[in-house]
Structure 1
Amino acid sequence: MTITHDRPTQVFELINPELRAELIADVRKSWPGLSDELGARGVHQLVAFLATSSGADVPMAPSLRVDLFWHAFVLHTKPYADFCAALGGFIHHVPDRDSRAPAEGRAALARTRNTISAAGYDLDPEFWPPESATDCSADCSQCHAGCSDSPVNK
């Protein structure tokens, strides 16, 4: 699948306002200070991540904050499955608890950020730590950069 620059607009429409509000409420349980505005931006970053993952030929890893939204979305099984189907196939969430090296996490995030940008999506710095981040365990991924999509199962 080729993702063009006008595709991002269409993909964001796949999550209706009601589901967006539910995802924000779900994430707020583990991130109490999450505002509605920042939550909407988080859903936006989740959609960019998943849409790009659906067409990528390498595993992509979410940041900690994007992963919070992904975990919330996966729990809404029907809308999540419908969203994935609209992108061409189910996007599996693959935890890898053996991958704990900060360097691996930074490399996975750099690859993911570059792939998302190349697909025409804007990266929100509130949701993606900069490449210069020194404490990857705090910002990179809920699963120590081990959560990824699975291009093998697409």
Structure 2
Amino acid sequence: MTTVLEQPVKARQGRDLVTPQLFERLVDFCADEYGLERCVAERIQCEAIAMCYVMGTTKAGDVMAPSKLVDPGWHTFMLHTEEYANWCRENFGYFLHHRPNSKLRTNGLMVDVVGRIKAEGFEVDERLWGTAADCNAPTCCGDGPCC
């Protein structure tokens, strides 16, 4: 009998879904446009891309929404219209539209969104979704430097 040791599977990240060059451009824009430290913009952009991917591949765009902290990442991606449209077409076969409804950002919704993203194999930075178990604002909820 042979025993096979299973290698732990590394969770995917949103940054893995675009080219490194595009990710860097998006992060630079997000940091500059929203006045964020670059390390925070990287985290936000990573979460936004993963969320968009899950929304598009599962057709759950009507029941998912970004947190207030992740929303700038989606806006950043959409403002790069050519890249965003091509990415949507290549990954889903259709354009994933943004239908804003900021009044739906409840803790329950954010927990559901985080669960959906995790279920698709992505690593999630729960501090950006307001679902972290032990959150001591402002140092760990996306407000502090390089959280």
After TM superposition, the score normalised by the length of structure 2 is 0.69
State the alpha-carbon separation in 2 of the partners of residues 126 and 51 from structure 1: 20
State the alpha-carbon separation in 2 of the partners of residues 8 and 131 from structure 1: 19
**Root mean square deviation of aligned Cα:** 3.0
The one-character-per-residue Cα deviations of 1:69-124 (angstroms, maximum 9, x if unpaired) are: 10011111110011111221211100125x36xxx522221110111111111111
1:19 CA drift (Å): 2.0
Structure 1 runs not aligned, ≥5 long = 134-138, 140-154
1:96 to 80, 98, 101: 101
Tell me the equivalent position of 2:114: 113
- Matched residue count: 125
Mapping for residues 123-138 of structure 1, pairs under 5 Å: 123-130=124-131
Return the index of the structure with the highest Cα Rg.
2
Structure 2 runs not aligned, ≥5 long = 1-8, 136-140, 142-147
SS at match of 2:69: helix
Letter of the 2:121 partner, please give it: G
State the alpha-carbon separation in 2 of the partners of residues 27 and 17 from structure 1: 15
Single out whichever of 69-78 and 39-48 deviates more from structure 2: 39-48
Matched, 1:85 2:89: yes
Maintained 8 Å contact 1:45/1:66: yes
Higher RCO (C-alpha under 8 Å, 6+ residues apart): 1
1:12 CA drift (Å): 4.1
Instruction: Give me the identity figure in percent.
Output: 24
1:26 CA drift (Å): 2.0
Tell me the equivalent position of 2:41: 39
